[in-house]
Chain A
Amino acid sequence: MSGVRLLVGTRKGAFVLTSDAKRKDWKVDGPHFAGWEIYHAKGSPVDPNRIYASQTSAWFGQIIQRSSDGGKTWETPGSSLEDLKAPDGMPKGESNKFVYDGVPGTHQWYDGTQHPWEFKRVWHLEPALDNPDHVYAGVEDAALFESKDGGKSWKELSGLRKHDTGPKWQPGAGGMCLHSIILDPKDRQRMFIAISAAGAFRTDDGGKTWKPINRGLHSQFMPDPNAEVGHCVHHIAMHPKKPNTLFMQKHWDIMRSDDAGDSWREVSGNLPSDFGFPIDIHAHEPETIYVVPIKSDSEHYPPDGKLRVYRSRSGGNEWEELTKGLPQKDCYVNVLRDAMTVDALDKCGVYFGTTGGQVYGSNDAGDSWNAIVRDLPAVLSVEAQTLK
Chain B
Amino acid sequence: MIRVVLPHHLRTLAKVGDEVHVDLNGLATVRAVIDAIETKYPMLRGTIRDHDTQKRRPLVRFFACGEDISHEPQDTPLPHAIANGAELFFIMGAIAGG
Contact = CB atoms under 8 A, between A and B. Distances in A.
Contacts of B8: 35
Contacts, number: 71
B57 A79 contact: no
Contacts of A28: none
A150 interface: no
Contacts of B42: 76, 78-79, 83-84, 90-93
Contacts of B50: 61
Interface residues of B, number: 26
Contacts of A257: none
Interface centre among A36, A63, A98 (most CB of B within 10 A): A63
A76 B47 CA distance: 13
A60 B47 contact: yes
A61 B7 CA distance: 13
Interface residues of A, number: 26
Given A59-B9, A60-B60, A76-B13, A96 B96 contact: no
Contacts of B59: 58-60
A357 to B, nearest CB: 17
Nearest to B51: A97
Given A59-B7, A61-B57, A93 B93 contact: no
A34 B38 contact: no
16 contacts: A35-B9, A36-B9, A57-B9, A59-B93, A59-B94, A60-B9, A60-B10, A60-B93, A79-B42, A90-B39, A92-B42, A93-B45, A94-B45, A96-B47, A98-B51, A99-B52
Interface of B: 7-10, 12-13, 38-39, 41-48, 50-52, 57, 59-60, 93-94, 96, 98
